[in-house]
Amino acid sequence: MSVVLSEFLIPGWAQGEGAPAAPVNGTDLPCHYVDPDLFFAELSHQLEQAKTLCSTCPLQRACLEGALSRSEPCGVWGGQIFEDGQVVAAKRSPGRPRMKAA
């Protein structure tokens, strides 16, 4: 499935000159009214907030399908967390992995 960017703006792309002041095509997209960095956060609780916002979006499925077709390298798209182009259940915290308990 292809996504027409003029109809479906990606989080963060709605900023700057020419950005819509009102909802696109009468649709209220939650990702256009919060800080775009929330969708690319490092902390798991922020990513969960972004996923919650996606759950109310009428374009959630189209967003997810578009992200899968583009192999998005990271971020929250369509209510899912992407890392290295794949959907993951949770993003691992930055830093060294924990040692397994013996």
Q: How far apart are CA 79 and CA 22, in angstroms?
A: 23
DSSP helix/strand/coil, 45: helix
On whether residue 52 sits in a domain, the answer given is yes
On whether residue 42 sits in a domain, the answer given is yes
Residue 6 has pLDDT above 50, yes or no: no
Domain that holds residue 81: 30-88
Q: How far apart are CA 59 and CA 62, in angstroms?
A: 5
pTM of the model: 0.66
On whether residue 45 sits in a domain, the answer given is yes
Residue 47 has pLDDT above 90, yes or no: yes
- pLDDT category, 2, cuts 50, 70, 90? very low
Q: Going edge to edge, which strands form the sheet with 86-88?
A: 74-77, 80-83, 86-88
**Residues near 15 by Cβ (< 8 Å), separated by ≥ 6?**
36
Beta strands in 31-78 (DSSP E): 74-77
Q: Dump pLDDT digits (tens) for 68-96.
A: 999 999 999 999 999 988 999 887 666 77
Domain count, the chain: 1
On whether residue 72 sits in a domain, the answer given is yes
